[in-house]
Chains A and B, each alone.
Chain A
Amino acid sequence: MAKEIYDSEIGRGWTTYVPAGLAIVGAFLMLGLRLQLGERFISDGALMMLALASYLFAALFQLTNLYAPSEMARRIGLWSAVAGVFFNLSSWLVRWDAAYEHEIAIMRESGNMATPWIFRYVPFANLYDLSLAFAFGAGIATLLFARRRNFQVLGAFTLPLAAIILTLARFIGNEFIDLPPVLDSYWRPIHVGVASLSYGVALVCFAIAVIYLLKDRVKVEAMAIWSSIFAIGVIGSISKFSVLTELVYRAGLFVPNPDGGKAFSAPFRLDTPYVGVALAFCALLLAGVIVSFLVYLYRENQGAKTLGHLLLKVALIAQILTVGLLVAEIRETNNVPERLRAQIAANPSQLVTAGRAMAERQQLSAREFAAITPAQHEQMGRQYLQANGDKLYLSVGTNPVEIAGLITALAGTFFVVLFAFRTDKLRERLPSLESLDSLMYKTACLAFAGLAMLLITGAIWANESWGRPWGFDSKETGALVAWLTYAAFLHTRISRGWTGRSSAYFAVLGFLLVIFTYLGVSYLLPGLHSYA
């Protein structure tokens, strides 16, 4: 009998579960310590930052192992991923206890001696909590699939994405929200827990699809075109489309919450000097990348290829500098009221825009809304400015999705630049196409089943709370669309025999829809899930 038959790529027995098991058990020990030590213990925010660092560290070593195989790099990559999952889950668990203590303190101070049940405080209340859990879902799924040695490379692709999700969480801010009573249900941990785990599996499925495309000799130049289109889309749509139309980036503003909770978003945005121009320059470079690589792909023009790669590298540097400039501008600007007043003096139409935004928040009837004149909108904006103008301030937290979008675009460019380096060697070291396709199908099945659980548990919860199991709320519909996409993906394997590259494209589409459901619906569309 041939020896290779015995050489299974998976480790044997329960020991393969040790890394994931250690991360989980360790996190619960941390919860025990938090319960013992109280607020003196490390905060959930600090643990989240440790998780972020660990994920990046793990990805770095997994990438190193990919380009320059080394057992030490592989081990460091694996155990850093374990540390990331450990810190990530610890952060979530510690937050649970902290949320309980936070509200109990408020109640006791007011003389309210009631003790709500502990599940009221499960950290699934807003997008920050969901992001923590989503990143954990991606991390733990990566660890479980990394039981096979040849799939440990997955971490190089999934963990940077988990890190981006945690970065988004960092920008959103970890203030506790006042939990709406409808969320005080045992269905919430079930429903949102399933959501975060299935989102995590969908992320892993997406990463496998990207690896498959890379292995299947999809040209890096084609990938660069798609990543550049994505980046231009992000740049073009942020700041209410002002970057490419006016060469200006306007950052959102906060006004403090007098009750000390999460600050309110102001209806005004402030021009941040140079950032708009820098972003437009990045978009121009990326457009150059697209044109150059299109010329190369359709005319086999080697000169265009060389130019495209050069532009891609310059675009990467430009994106890094621009994101740095944006964050620096937001952090260092302290004379916000004066600058805002000067900006409005130069362009008074912003008062009308702000007044209109305020009117939209008031849930007026169509007739009432239509009856408000532009002059009244301007008046509303002016009144708001008079009342709150001096309190307005800039924060990276005002535009978490925009900044996370820019960082994601930057990461996309970075990975394409990376893939362009020793591409053939990289492809050789990736798992076989058959095993990648099989794992992609397996993860798509899991994501499909998970999204089905998400939809059903959400519907049953809605039926218990509102008597309306299904109302085509935008988040419900978003999850349904993602689920239908995975359903179509699985059925195309039956009807058309679509495997491999076609399946990979479907997996990418499915994950983009999951991301749209996770972020886009919460920030862009009205509905019952606007808190998360």
Chain B
Amino acid sequence: MTNNGRYVMIFILRMSAAEQTIGGREVAKTRIKPIGDRILDFLSSVRFGVSLLCTLVVLSMIGMLIIQQNVQGFDAYYASLTPAEKLVYGSLGFFDIYYAWYFKFLLLILSLNIILASIDRFPSAWSYISKPKLTATSSWLEQQAQTATFAADSSDHDALAEKISRAFKANGLSTQTSKFDELSYGTDESGLKDFANVSTESRTIIFGESGRINRIGAYIVHVCLLTLFLGHFVALQTGFDADVRMIPGDATDQIQMIQFDLDKKEKFNVELPFSMTCTDIQQRLIDPRGSIDVTNTLDWRTQVIVDDPEYGQTTADISMNKPFSYRGYRFFQAQTIPVGNARTIDLNLIPQDGGAHVSVTIPRTGESTLGDGTKVEYEEFLPDFTFNADGKPDTRSGEYNNPVAILGVTPPGGERVRVFAFGGNMPDNAPVSAPKAGYKWKLANYEKSPFAHVLSIKYDPFNGAFIAWYFGGFGLIGALCFVFFFSHRRVWALIENGRIVMGGNANRNHLGFEDKFNKVVRDVGEVV
């Protein structure tokens, strides 16, 4: 019966599995299901899913309008509330709504709904791929969203089918041609079907489709969404947030975990399995003459050395947007202690016994040895020098109003003395800036940096956030593009007595399909 092996003879006109499934459900509705099945049906229904989405929208809106306890400005907001508001909002969990038990429960139920709905509907979607609808009657085709009928010489079905198949392929459709016999009945005198008068008519139908995998796109979206939920959940349950202050020269194996309880922030020390030594902090400024304010900053950089008893020593540079990951801990630039300091100081030394001026540059916590063997250690930097109530050197503010570098100077064979190198505002005859260790000390220049950096730390031992957002997130983007920028397009061309009936449908982008269908019809019209 076939001339190239592609034709299939089908005697029974049957619906595709997808359409059969839908039909089957209609019949099943009349039976009363067991309570367990009904609960499952409810949990897996899209209607329930939509209700959950709407509830999430409402709760999220509440969380937006009521300032949350971990948001800056909460303290003032909380103080402005009346006792009754505090009581009601607090007992309903509105100050931390996104971590309230009912919000988590809602997300859990939504995840369950997504899983059950996917399981329930996947077989139906898969049947479009595994059992495509190869045949159709003319009346079914004429009911499709796109349909066209035109006369054609149908004496040679095979030749006509071959031409139509080529036209389909030229339009990017993969084709299958089927033949079947359709039963038709005559009519009696009253116009009703006469089942005694049966005849069999031969039909040839060409089925073309593209993008059938798109049918399961929604399920890929769901898998990605669940990956995202699960990864994020694992990260939240197994990890924590902390911060650590980094001052050049300081070493620590302790970080501070932060917990919010309404307007109280509590910190707990957590011991790291390694120690960290800060070797340098830098603040790259737009205008080096300006302040160390965030608005004048290009970047912050912290250099640390990690000493790990298990893995040895590692050096890390942590900049804004360039975190450092180590053994499940990720270190980020978070904030600074904006008290002026100097990353390096340039000293101008005037020898008391005459001779050429000496220039020397010393990094923070560093030291230098002069040509005559004098050892100079950079101990401290005060941006706005003053004496405090105890008469000790202090800073009046964090601004660079009267900067001074405090040095430890050890002359060759002499004792270590404390020296103040001022930036310029101190009179020459002031005792504090008097020459010491054979030199008059002047602070010629300095590179501004803050007193300390504060790094925030995210501990995520199972890389849950990475899996959630890189696999789940990027997967979701890809899957959504796949779902919405492509579609499953199906076109049938039925050859019957002297005419060709065409019909087609698509699961989305109906306007685009309309154009495509019209082009296919035009191409078929031209070849037949």
Using a CB–CB cutoff of 8 Å, the interface residues on chain A facing chain B are 1-2, 5-6, 8, 10, 103, 106-107, 109-112, 114, 116, 148, 178, 180-182, 184-185, 187, 359-360, 363-370, 435, 438-439, 441-442, 445-446, 448-449, 452-453, 456, 459-460, 463-474, 477-478, 480-481, 484-485, 487-488, 491-492, 494-496, 521, 525-527
Contacts and interface: CB of A to CB of B under 8 A. Distances in A.
A106 B287 contact: yes
Contact of B295 (A178, A366, A484): A178
Contacts of B509: 442
A468 B458 CA distance: 8
A187 B321 CA distance: 10
Given A5-B518, A364-B76, 14 more contacts: A112-B287, A114-B298, A180-B295, A359-B76, A365-B263, A369-B80, A449-B480, A452-B477, A469-B232, A481-B57, A491-B49, A496-B47, A525-B64, A526-B67
Given A148-B511, A488-B53, A369 B79 contact: yes
B75 interface: yes
A484 B60 contact: yes
Contact of B53 (A464, A472, A484): A484
A353 to B, nearest CB: 13
A430 B73 CA distance: 50
Contacts of A487: 53
Nearest to A107: B286
Contact of A449 (B466, B473, B481, B511): B481
B88 to A, nearest CB: 18
Contact of A495 (B50, B60, B76, B299): B50
A527 B465 contact: no
Interface in B453-487: 456-458, 465-466, 468-470, 473-474, 476-477, 480-481, 483-485
Interface in B508-528: 508-511, 514-515, 518-519, 521-522, 525
B64 A477 contact: yes
B45 to A, nearest CB: 7
Interface in B42-76: 45-47, 49-50, 53-54, 56-57, 60-61, 63-65, 67-68, 70-73, 75-76
A369 B511 contact: no
B148 A1 contact: yes
B304 interface: no
Given A10-B515, A110-B289, A468 B480 contact: no
B457 A467 contact: yes
A114 B284 CA distance: 10
Contacts of B480: 448-449, 452-453
Contact of B521 (A5, A106, A116, A494): A5
Contacts of B299: 181, 184
Contacts of A109: 287
**Residue among A184, A452, A453 with the highest chain B CB neighbour number at 10 A:** A452
B288 A477 contact: no
A86 B298 CA distance: 33
Contacts of A491: 46, 49-50, 53
Across the A-B interface, give the 9 residue pairs with the lowest CB-CB distance, nearest first: A467-B458, A178-B295, A495-B46, A366-B263, A456-B473, A366-B75, A110-B287, A1-B150, A445-B484
Contacts of B404: none
A485 B53 CA distance: 7
Contacts of B89: none
Nearest to B294: A180
Nearest to B284: A114
Majority-rule SS of A interface residues:
helix
B282 to A, nearest CB: 12
Contacts of B50: 488, 491-492, 495-496
Given A5-B518, A481-B60, A469 B508 contact: no
Contact of A370 (B72, B79, B320, B521): B79
A524 B456 CA distance: 28
Interface of B: 45-47, 49-50, 53-54, 56-57, 60-61, 63-65, 67-68, 70-73, 75-76, 78-80, 98, 148, 150, 232, 241, 263, 284-290, 294-300, 320-321, 323, 330, 332-334, 456-458, 465-466, 468-470, 473-474, 476-477, 480-481, 483-485, 508-511, 514-515, 518-519, 521-522, 525
B98 A472 contact: yes
A477 B286 contact: no
A360 B76 contact: yes
A469 B71 CA distance: 15
Contacts of A466: 332, 334, 456
Contact of B241 (A187, A468, A485): A468
B473 A459 contact: yes
A148 B148 CA distance: 22
B384 to A, nearest CB: 20
Nearest to A182: B320
A181 B57 contact: no
A446 B484 contact: yes
B286 A103 contact: yes
A354 B98 CA distance: 33
Nearest to B283: A181
Contacts of A453: 477, 480
Nearest to B510: A438
B298 A480 contact: no
Nearest to A6: B522
Contacts of B73: 360, 363, 526
A382 to B, nearest CB: 21
Contacts of A456: 469, 473-474, 476-477
Nearest to B528: A1
A480 B60 contact: yes
A439 B75 CA distance: 47
A480 B79 CA distance: 29
Contact of A106 (B53, B148, B286, B515): B286
A112 B285 contact: yes
A468 B459 CA distance: 11
21 contacts: A1-B148, A1-B150, A8-B514, A8-B519, A106-B286, A109-B287, A363-B75, A365-B75, A438-B510, A464-B323, A465-B321, A469-B469, A470-B232, A478-B64, A492-B50, A495-B45, A495-B50, A496-B50, A525-B64, A526-B71, A526-B73
A112 B296 CA distance: 12
B456 A467 contact: yes
